[in-house]
Structure 1
Amino acid sequence: GAMWSLCEDNDSNKQRVADVGAIPHLIGLLHAQDSFAQSQSAGALSECSIRNDRNKKLISDHGAIVPLVQMLTSADLSVQRLSSCALCNVCANHEANRRQAREVGALPVLVSLLSVSQVPEVLSPVAGAICNLSMKCPENKAEFSRLGAANVLRKLVDSPIPSLHGNALAALEQLEMV
Structure 2
Amino acid sequence: MKIRAFFLALFALACFSLTAPAKTPPVWTMDKPYTNSPLQRATLTGTATFNEVQGQAWLIVSCRPDAGKPEVTLRVDKALAESFPVGKYEGPGGVGEKMRLLRVAMDQGESASTYLASGTRQENNTFQWTFTPPQAEMERWINAPGTLVTLYIRQEDAGAPRLEASFVLPASNADLAALVRPCYKK
Could you say which TM-score interval applies, normalised by the shorter chain?
under 0.3
Relative to the length of structure 2, the TM-score reads 0.25
TM-score, with normalisation over the residues of structure 1? 0.26
**Which structure: greater strand fraction?**
2
Structure of greater Rg: 2
| Structure with more contact order per residue of length (Cα contacts < 8 Å, sep ≥ 6) | 2
